[in-house]
Amino acid sequence: MMTKFMASAFVSTALLAGASLAQADMHGDMHPQVWADDQSVASGSVTAEKVTAGSNGWLVVHRTDDSMKPGPVVGHAPLKEGENMDVTALLTEDVSAGDMLMLMVHGEAGGMEPGVFEYTLGASEDGPIKMDGKLVTATITAQ
């Protein structure tokens, strides 16, 4: 009888510890990441399957090319802190099949108004988030 009780207590403790770690991850310790695949842009939008963000911010769509440097912004969508699923950014310019797009996590800092996307290329308002000194991106090819 004592063995069943000990096993049950161990499993309960392990589950609680796991829940605590998951909760800690959701609040500030979450590493920003973007998951997206090549896709059709015929509808005038781009969708990331999943985006994680350490705080509220933006998924920003930049033009790019083989140099893999972010170019002009051609779309954006709001992000909430934590896990965001199926984040769709409306494109503000025509994008053709074969064009490369960089989907990047930006913050919500330094701007004049919270909830208003204020970034322009090279500006600090609502600028890119970096992890270990690197931009948080996924690059796709428009189909």
Q: Can you give the three-state secondary structure of 63-110, one letter per residue?
A: EECCCCCCCCEEEEEEECCEEEEEEEEEECCCCCCCCEEEEEEEECCC
Q: What is the mean pLDDT of the chain?
A: 85
Amino acid at 52: T
pLDDT over 70 (residue 99): yes
Q: Measured between alpha carbons, how far is 48 from 111 in angstroms, rounded to an integer?
A: 24
Q: How many other CB atoms sit within 10 Å of the CB of residue 101?
A: 26
Q: How many other CB atoms sit within 10 Å of the CB of residue 74?
A: 21
Q: How many other CB atoms sit within 10 Å of the CB of residue 80?
A: 12
Full-model pTM: 0.79
Identify the residue with better confidence: 128 or 14. Answer: 128
Q: What is the pLDDT of residue 9?
A: 45
pLDDT over 90 (residue 21): no
Q: Measured between alpha carbons, how far is 116 from 91 in angstroms, rounded to an integer?
A: 17
Confidence of residue 121 (pLDDT cuts 50, 70, 90): confident
Q: How many other CB atoms sit within 10 Å of the CB of residue 138?
A: 19
Q: Measured between alpha carbons, how far is 29 from 114 in angstroms, rounded to an integer?
A: 22
Q: What is the pLDDT of residue 30?
A: 77
Q: What percent of the chain has pLDDT above 90?
A: 73
DSSP 8-state assignment for residue 132 = T
pLDDT over 60 (residue 31): yes
Q: Measured between alpha carbons, how far is 12 from 10 in angstroms, rounded to an integer?
A: 5
